[in-house]
Amino acid sequence: MDTRTVGILGGGQLGRMLVEAANRLNVKTIILDEAVDSPAKQISNSKDHIIGSFNDPHAIEELASKCDVLTIEIEHVNIEALKNVQTKYPKLKIYPTIETISLIKDKFLQKGHLTKNSIAAVKSIPIPENTVDNLKQIGNELGYPFVLKSRTFAYDGRGNFVIKSQDDIVQGLVTLKDRPLYAEKWAPFIKELAVMVIRSIDGKIFSYPVVETVHQDNICHLCYAPARVPDSIQETAKLLAENAVQSFRDCGIFGVEMFLMEDGELFVNEIAPRPHNSGHYTIDSCVTSQFEAHLRSILSLPLPKNFTQFATSNTNAIMLNVLGGNTANSELEFCKKALETAGCSVYLYGKESRPKRKVGHINIISSSMKDCERKLDSILGVSSTITPQSDRKSPLVGIIMGSDSDLPVMSAGCKILEQFGVPFEVTIVSAHRTPHRMSKYAIEASQRGLKAIIAGAGGAAHLPGMVAAMTSLPVIGVPVKGSCLDGVDSLHSIVQMPRGVPVATVAINNSTNAALLAVRILGSYDNKYFKLMNDFLLKQENEVLLKAETLEMLGYEDYLTKAK
């Protein structure tokens, strides 16, 4: 796709997934890594890979001499060496830029850069010298607890120490001795969010969905995409991440980690100028993966419109990191469970299994987060009540009625849904006698995965309309015939909704048609049900044709006799 060669400083799993994307596009890559057989090198037989540290000036120069574009999979690289090769090879492109790497590599400089650019970040204070007195003064200023952090070479929680009170100061200085330190105010966050953002060469910003990361022992354990937070918070997080990345005059992918506080406030925690663990879900769930998007942007190759979006409008994903088990390769047990589970993709990095080492990840994709969570539980063996292949069906249609006296009428609808194999639930919800239960039912319906609600009611029939007022799902109303007015009261109460809140009304007592309508609604997007409805209509037609044939054959008098 391109004749230019891309050099990558670092050959771990991030490099490996960059190389996989490059292989598919026939883009040549050269890896600089100390290991002969690092994860990235394993999947490229180039003779040009270099054995050496991404901090070694000679190795970096050798890499630069062979490449047109340099990029990184880790920011802890030798800045001086990069400056030298840029001088020596002025045509060489380096993304992220040396300036960005310098700013980000030193976490205190990073925080300063963000603050200078009005990006909300946790308050940070420099520590000119690592002394107890200095830290006591900081404790007075920031309050306890605060976090002592290494400015450089900190990742997966290493390089951080929480100072809970003055008594911890000495231990903190011992643990992080000889490191350049700074102090950060304690951020009692309720969730960690993250956004992958692409900055194109001409300064355009494209952000991937907002995700939620869950850490265990300071290592990323899970990533939920999209984040399980309200839309308004997702929107704010997206803007914060976009503004943060916009502040770097650069090109390529950035990972922005954020803290969400109880009051909804958001702070940038830190930024990575490269592919990121919180973006692995993009491989299976977004239009273009973070790895391919990074490559295409640093090579100025085209990217489609909305390339950062989910592949379908109802994609949900959970990424589960595979960490080495306590005994070597014991983690493969749950990887095997993932292989058994539909919608799961397993990515192993070709690394030796060591306890807690990131050796792979699993992407779990489904049309609902609830289903992703169920699959995750099954993989992790969390719940024994779950069927091994996570094929327990959540209801797609809810049938509710104002009173059990409506059940004889509504049961015909249940039979139809059973006949079509539609998972459904049926219960009693009365607008007038259980108004709070009704609200709860309506409000939670969509989150529980329902796609349509069928509500039956008689007389002053308020249930269908009231439920419709509290959900965005389609609500189908069945007017149930009461003791007077022949059901016209129910019909008019249900169908004559004011502008703004529709109820899909069917004929009086005709819950059969309500269920068939629900199947048609499912069939709009799910071919399985569409085909079943086609078959149903054909069967109906054939039944009538058969009767016609019989009537023609027997004559009307015999037919009437036999029909009895």
Instruction: Give me the least distance between CB of 383 and a copy of itself, in Å please.
Output: 19
Phi, psi at residue 499, to the nearest 5°? -50, 135
Q: Looking only at residues 324 through 383 of this chain, which bind a copy of itself when binding is defined by CB under 8 A?
A: 332, 335-337, 339-350, 360, 365, 367
Closest by alpha carbon to 285, among 309, 321, 305? Answer: 309
Binding residue (CB under 8 A) for a copy of itself from 432, 530, 551, 554? 530
Closest by alpha carbon to 39, among 61, 18, 66? Answer: 18
The one segment of 88-96, 245-253, 270-278, 509-517 that binds a copy of itself by CB under 8 A: 509-517
Binding residue (CB under 8 A) for a copy of itself from 157, 203, 264, 304? 304
DSSP three-state, residue 230: coil
Binding residue (CB under 8 A) for a copy of itself from 233, 377, 523, 554? 523
CB atoms within 10 A of CB 520: 13
Decide: 259 and 188 in contact? Cβ < 8 Å: no
Decide: 369 and 343 in contact? Cβ < 8 Å: no
Nearer to a copy of itself, 61 or 377 (CB): 377
Q: Where are the alpha helices (DSSP H) in 143-278?
A: 169-175, 231-246
Cα 475 to Cα 463: distance, rounded to the nearest angstrom:
10
Nearer to a copy of itself, 389 or 550 (CB): 389
Binding residue (CB under 8 A) for a copy of itself from 303, 319, 422, 466? 303
Instruction: Give me the least distance between CB of 144 and a copy of itself, in Å please.
Output: 42
Cα 378 to Cα 562: distance, rounded to the nearest angstrom:
57
What pairs with residue 358 in β-bridges? Answer: 323
Closest by alpha carbon to 459, among 405, 516, 398? Answer: 405
Q: Looking only at residues 29 through 68 of this chain, which bind a copy of itself when binding is defined by CB under 8 A?
A: 37, 41-45, 49
Closest by alpha carbon to 122, among 271, 303, 324? Answer: 271
Nearer to a copy of itself, 187 or 469 (CB): 469
Residue 472 makes contact with a copy of itself by CB under 8 A: yes
Nearer to a copy of itself, 326 or 527 (CB): 527
Decide: 101 and 82 in contact? Cβ < 8 Å: yes
CA angle 174/178/180 to nearest 5° reads 110
- Tell me the one-letter amino acid at 322: V
Instruction: Give me the least distance between CB of 456 and a copy of itself, in Å please.
Output: 14
Nearer to a copy of itself, 97 or 353 (CB): 353
Closest by alpha carbon to 350, among 3, 37, 34, 4? Answer: 37
Binding residue (CB under 8 A) for a copy of itself from 259, 291, 307, 334? 307
Nearer to a copy of itself, 60 or 397 (CB): 397
Phi, psi at residue 175, to the nearest 5°? -60, -40
Nearer to a copy of itself, 461 or 475 (CB): 475
Closest by alpha carbon to 465, among 434, 513, 504, 407? Answer: 504
Nearer to a copy of itself, 100 or 341 (CB): 341
Closest by alpha carbon to 516, among 534, 497, 490? Answer: 534
Cα 112 to Cα 190: distance, rounded to the nearest angstrom:
24
Residue 232 makes contact with a copy of itself by CB under 8 A: no
The one segment of 198-206, 255-263, 473-481, 548-556 that binds a copy of itself by CB under 8 A: 473-481
The one segment of 16-24, 95-103, 153-161, 250-258 that binds a copy of itself by CB under 8 A: 16-24
> How would you class 368 by CB atoms within 10 Å of its CB: exposed for 0-12, middle for 13-18, buried for 19 or more?
middle
Decide: 497 and 503 in contact? Cβ < 8 Å: yes
Instruction: Give me the least distance between CB of 161 and a copy of itself, in Å please.
Output: 35
The one segment of 134-142, 154-162, 424-432, 514-522 that binds a copy of itself by CB under 8 A: 514-522
Nearer to a copy of itself, 123 or 492 (CB): 492
Spell 179-202 as b/e; 16+ CB within 10 A means b: bbbbbbbbbebebbbbbbbbbbee
Task: Give the contact letters, 430-469, x = binds to a copy of itself (CB under 8 A), - = no.
Answer: ----------------x----xx----------------x
Instruction: Give me the least distance between CB of 272 and a copy of itself, in Å please.
Output: 23
DSSP three-state, residue 305: coil
Record the tokens describing residue 117, joined without a space: 């650019």
The one segment of 108-116, 245-253, 258-266, 531-539 that binds a copy of itself by CB under 8 A: 531-539
Cα 265 to Cα 108: distance, rounded to the nearest angstrom:
21
Cα 100 to Cα 111: distance, rounded to the nearest angstrom:
13
Instruction: Give me the least distance between CB of 547 and a copy of itself, in Å please.
Output: 14
Nearer to a copy of itself, 121 or 299 (CB): 299
Closest by alpha carbon to 493, among 455, 462, 453, 456? Answer: 462
Nearer to a copy of itself, 356 or 531 (CB): 531
Instruction: Give me the least distance between CB of 496 and a copy of itself, in Å please.
Output: 5
The one segment of 95-103, 121-129, 488-496, 548-556 that binds a copy of itself by CB under 8 A: 488-496
Count the residues of the shown chain that bind a copy of itself, applying the rule CB under 8 A.
93
Residue 540 makes contact with a copy of itself by CB under 8 A: yes
Instruction: Give me the least distance between CB of 24 and a copy of itself, in Å please.
Output: 5
Closest by alpha carbon to 296, among 8, 25, 11, 17? Answer: 25
Instruction: Give me the least distance between CB of 210 and a copy of itself, in Å please.
Output: 14
Nearer to a copy of itself, 131 or 540 (CB): 540
Nearer to a copy of itself, 539 or 562 (CB): 539
Q: Looking only at residues 166 through 225 of this chain, which bind a copy of itself when binding is defined by CB under 8 A?
A: none
Instruction: Give me the least distance between CB of 392 and a copy of itself, in Å please.
Output: 12
